[in-house]
Amino acid sequence: MLHTLGSSPFQCDYALLLRMLQPGDDVLLMQDGVLAGLQGSRMLTPLLNSPARLWALGDDLAARGLVAQISPKITVIDYNEFVTLTVNHKQQMPW
């Protein structure tokens, strides 16, 4: 399943998102959701400990001036790669 986190992790049910993650899932941090992937964020550790692969949309990081602060364990992608993630997952869950 593809989980797209578009809300700040402080303004959604982040704990439920983490509980739902299964091996083979992908999490795309986008819009304000990129805050979950910042180095030093208390939201980052549980995300890194999840079984999911982690991605962040580069344009959303750039728009917020956060490119240099994203964890190196999260792969930064562009919109074309976002489309590929979407095509690869029949099920998607927006957060």
Q: What per-residue confidence (pLDDT) applies to 46?
A: 97
- Predicted pLDDT of residue 38: 98
In the chain, how long is the greatest CA-to-CA distance?
A: 33
- Please give the average per-residue pLDDT across 13-38, as a whole number: 98
Rounded to two decimals, the pTM is: 0.95
Number of Cα atoms under 13 Å in the Cβ half of residue 35: 12
Whole-number percent of the chain with pLDDT over 90: 100
User: CATH homologous superfamily of domain 2-94?
Assistant: DsrEFH-like (3.40.1260.10)
Q: How many CA atoms lie within 13 A of 42 on its CB side?
A: 3
Spans of all domains in the chain: 2-94
Name the average pLDDT for the chain.
Answer: 98
Task: Give the tens place of pLDDT for each residue, 61-89.
Answer: 999 999 999 999 999 999 999 999 999 99
Q: What percent of the chain has pLDDT over 70?
A: 100
Tokens of 95: 């957060």
pLDDT of residue 10: 94
> Do 2 and 81 touch, CB atoms closer than 8 A?
no
